[in-house]
């Protein structure tokens, strides 16, 4: 009986440790939607590109390109990025590591 219990626990542990969040997969759709909404703000015109990857069950890497105004200065862009990161971390607390690239959106499919 003890052997059966150990085998069962082992199988459960194998399944849990190979779950999708430990295999570097993307965030779930509700978290992605929440991030897009959070990144949009008074100075972020749109999210051009967004990629996510779980580094651990409660640790999410976020890489994205956001559209900012052509007239924004470097100092303004830094403040825009800081504010966007703060909004995103409030919406999705497991988004612990972020890489944001500001760009100018062009509807022709090319950037700036």
pLDDT, averaged across the chain: 85
Q: How far apart, in whole angstroms, are the C-alpha atoms of residue 68 and residue 101? A: 10
Indicate if the alpha-carbon torsion angle 38, 39, 44, 45 is positive or negative.
Answer: negative
Q: Establish if 7 belongs to a structural domain.
A: no
Which pLDDT score, from 0 to 100, does residue 49 have? Answer: 94
Name the least confident of 2-6, 79-83, 96-100.
2-6
Residue 95 structural domain: 22-103
Kindly report the CATH number assigned to the domain that includes residue 44: 3.30.70.1350
Conformational region of residue 63, where left means phi above 0, alpha means psi within -120 to 50, and beta covers everything else: beta
Q: How far apart, in whole angstroms, are the C-alpha atoms of residue 37 and residue 21? A: 22
Report pLDDT digits (tens) over 48-70.
Answer: 999 999 988 889 999 999 999 99
Name beta bridge partners: 49: 65
Q: Establish if 52 belongs to a structural domain.
A: yes
| Number of domains the chain contains | 1
Which pLDDT score, from 0 to 100, does residue 98 have? Answer: 94
Which pLDDT score, from 0 to 100, does residue 109 have? Answer: 53
Which pLDDT score, from 0 to 100, does residue 112 have? Answer: 46
């Amino acid at each position: 009986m003890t052997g059966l219990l150990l085998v069962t626990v082992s199988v459960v542990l194998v399944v849990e440790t190979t779950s999708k969040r430990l295999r570097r997969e993307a965030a779930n759709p509700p978290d992605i939607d929440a991030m897009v909404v959070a990144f949009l703000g008074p100075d972020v015109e749109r999210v051009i590109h967004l990629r996510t990857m779980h580094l651990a069950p409660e640790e999410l890497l976020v890489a994205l390109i956001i559209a900012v105004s052509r007239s924004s200065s470097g100092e303004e862009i830094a403040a825009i990025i800081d504010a966007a990161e703060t909004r995103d971390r409030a919406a999705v607390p497991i988004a612990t590591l972020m890489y944001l690239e500001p760009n100018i959106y062009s509807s022709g499919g090319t950037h700036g």
